[in-house]
Structure 1
Amino acid sequence: MLVNIIVGFVIPVIIGGWILRRQFKIIFVYYPLGIATSACINSVGFNFFWNILPNTRNQSYAALPMDLGIYPMAGCLMMYYILVHKKKPWPSILVAAATLTLIEWIAKIMGHVVYFNGWNIFWTFCSYFLPFVLAYAYSKVFAHLFLK
């Protein structure tokens, strides 16, 4: 569990916090969205498609550091590059989803993640891609409703 906390929460929050230290609005707006989408997807996934170490009675505990760290921070960093650095959204979404997929693939090779019921790395990519699309759509709705 200590590895989950360090790799899934501490390192991403330190790196992301340092990069976003002058962009508190991005963290304030997108971090909660990232936590919510991550928790929802992991709740379904742990029941039907995957498992991570350490094995606990409630797998959500093992994923909590990631739900609070790497997943929402990756969304914040993606939105930072889209909004602040004016990067194109679709390549940014693809890079963010591919990066998280690569990290999970490495964890799978190391035996830290186990897939079942037909889940594979393609579906993993989709499970990251769709929330990033949701975050970008959220940014468009948010800007349209509240920033005009």
Structure 2
Amino acid sequence: MKQRFAILLAALWWGSLTGVGFVVVPLLFMHLGSPAAAGAMAAKLFSAQTWLSTACAMLMLLVFNKKDDPATALYAAAATKFVVAGLLLALLVEFGVAPRIVSARAEGANLKLWHGLGSAMYLGQWLCAGLSLWRLSRPAAGAASAASSPD
């Protein structure tokens, strides 16, 4: 049950990152009248995405923290490092890079640098969430052999 909940959280995390970063924000820039309006809306969406990412990652870490279930320990160990890395990337983008993008946009300096760094960190977070989902959804060795047995 815990593994299914963790998989659901990882799928929500990865899917929301995919939807916002690779579908919604590009559509904003294609269909809104000005890049400034699209950028302002994208910033709000990325901020909301950070809080969703934080909630998913923290809940997954809480699920992994249960020491009473040895089955949980097997899949948790494989995904924990990616969950923590993705969580740190999300928070770094929100509190480190996003304010620099806003100030660079106002001053007109280093916008390209900060935007590129933020995009790279978002991609890193997307990869961490995807690897967490991949690791968590891998069937256990005992489950695969039990499923193939004819009883």
TM-score tier after normalising by the smaller chain length = 0.3 to 0.5
| Larger strand percent | 1
Q: TM-score, normalised by structure 2?
A: 0.34
Q: TM-score, normalised by structure 1?
A: 0.34
| Larger helix percent | 2
